[in-house]
Amino acid sequence: MCNRCCGIHNNKWVFYLIAIALGVIGGLSEIGFVEQIGKSCSEVFIRIFKCISMPIISLSVIVALTGSGSDKTMNRLWRKALKYTLTTTVLAASISALLYIVISPSNVGMNFEQTEKNVVNANYTKYLLEIIPDNIIGAFSEHKVLSILLISVIFGISIRSIEDADAKQVLKSFFDGLHSIFFTITKFIVKVLPIGLFGFILVSVKELKSGMDLNGMGKYFLVIILANLVQGLVILPAFLALKKINPFANFRAMMPVLSVAFFTKSSSGTLPLTIEAAEQRIGVKKEVSRFVLPLCTTINMNGCAAFIFTTVIYMMQNYGIEISGFTILTWILISTIAAVGNAGVPMGCFFLSASLLSSMDVPMPLLGMILPIYSVIDMLETSLNVWSDSCVASVVNGETENNLT
């Protein structure tokens, strides 16, 4: 990473630290207008998340599903990469669900109005029952997450199935352009995110003053960390071994790249090193590595799925929404698809979690407590994502080797 980039990164965290400090000071103070400013900032960012969350998730899924060409070899690689990507991501979300049940993080003790709880429960149940929408525009305007994910998957698969090459390219370019627009908007939002962080921290400190118990937060972080470690050190090596690939040799070959991914927190920025290591140290063919790895960098987000599942379930639990077996199974599915739809979104996992929560009107003060620690979580997630990418590429390479010249 160049000195200029490091400087920008450090400046960003200076602003975050200032926002946290101001939020704490504002929350501890008894100055009415400061409290009002903080609450207003928090509300503004919740509204922003609601405004752009559904288009971002939808467009990311569509762009990811339409990302390959029509060549038979590329389609074969696409199908295998997508199959193993979805498999590993579902496993990551499932591992986090199992750990959540076993560790059972306790609530932080936030005191919400019972009437507000009833409203959220009613809305959540309603949109679970309305997965199949009767109005496409209505699904977006009413923030029906499952309906939008279903629509997006259908759109993406349908565009890939169009026989007219010109029509297919026009549609791909259209959705790519829309996705770029929202990607640019998101970058602007991230630049002013410290303002929202100030509001979230202020509201959280106010809750702490009223007797909030943060003991459950430790177990929440434990679930996320263990989910990443189990996926990276147990599930993915077992996946390689099942395909008769030496997981230890692959892990040793990828260690330098995983170290870079850990400290840069950017799987996209690490991609050139990932491709080089896959080709030179693992022996993945160029035809596979230079197609599968960029694709996996976009859609193979094991760490993101674990974070989204754990964070959304924990926030819902704290707000008084009953977490049933059906709820857990539903959010394993949502976390998987949302992680696939995380393409190119800055602070993707955190941002998508906030978007999903805001779409259900679940308050997000606790996200302000998570954000300062998210940087460490992001390191683990990025390393896991890159390690998973290399595993998928190795398996796809082994299965398609005889078909490639």
State how far the Cα of 207 lies from the Cα of 216, in Å rounded to an integer: 15
Tell me if the domain spanning 3-403 has CATH number 1.10.3860: yes
**Lookup: tokens for 211:** 């007797």
- 12-38: per-residue pLDDT in tens? 667 778 887 888 888 888 777 888 888
Q: Please, are residues 335 and 312 in contact by the beta-carbon 8 Å criterion? A: yes
Burial of 312 (0-12, 13-18, 19+ CB in 10 A): buried
Please say if the pLDDT value at position 245 is more than 90: yes
- The confidence score (pLDDT) of residue 91 equals 94
Distance of alpha carbon 245 from alpha carbon 288, whole angstroms: 16
Sign, CA torsion 217/223/228/232: positive
- Kindly state the average pLDDT of the residues 309-318: 87
Average confidence score pLDDT of the chain: 77
Task: Give Cα 4 to chain centroid, integer Å.
Answer: 27
Residue showing tokens 């950017």: 266
Q: Does the pLDDT of residue 184 top 60, yes or no?
A: yes
Radius of gyration for the chain, computed over Cα atoms and rounded to the nearest angstrom: 21
The CA distances from residue 78 to 54, 226, 357, in Å, are 26, 30, 32
8 Å CB contact between 209 and 27: yes
pLDDT at 321: 78
pLDDT for position 112: 46
* Whole-number Å distance between alpha carbons of 86 and 92: 10
Is the per-residue pLDDT at 71 higher than 60?
A: no
Confidence of residue 341 (pLDDT cuts 50, 70, 90): low
pLDDT band at 55 (very low <50, low <70, confident <90, very high): confident
Question: Do you know the residue count of the chain?
Answer: 405
Cβ contact 265:380 at 8 Å:
no
Q: Is 223 exposed, middle or buried (0-12, 13-18, 19+ CB in 10 A)?
A: buried
User: pLDDT value at position 120?
Assistant: 46
- pTM, to two decimals: 0.68
pLDDT digits (tens, 9 = 90+) for 96-154: 999 999 998 877 655 544 434 444 444 445 545 556 777 788 777 766 666 777 888 88
Q: Output the pLDDT for position 12.
A: 61
Amino acid 5: pLDDT: 43
108: tokens are 């932080």
More confident residue, 392 or 69: 392
Tokens 């990607």 -> residue = 183
Comparing 211-215, 250-254, 388-392, which segment has the lowest mean pLDDT? 211-215
pLDDT value at position 225?
92
- Mean pLDDT value of segment 58-68: 72
Of residues 91 and 280, the one with the higher pLDDT is: 91
Segment 86-95 mean pLDDT: 92
Model confidence pLDDT, tens digit, residues 188-218: 776 787 887 788 778 767 766 655 555 667 8
Please give the average per-residue pLDDT across 80-95, as a whole number.
Answer: 90
Residue 74's pLDDT band, with cuts at 50, 70 and 90, is low
Least confident of 34-43, 232-241, 331-340, 351-360: 351-360
Quote the Cα angle for 138-144-145, to 5°: 135
Of 83-87, 210-214, 371-375, the range with the lowest mean pLDDT is: 210-214
Rounded Cα–Cα distance for residues 37 and 202 (Å): 9
- At residue 195, what is the residue type? I
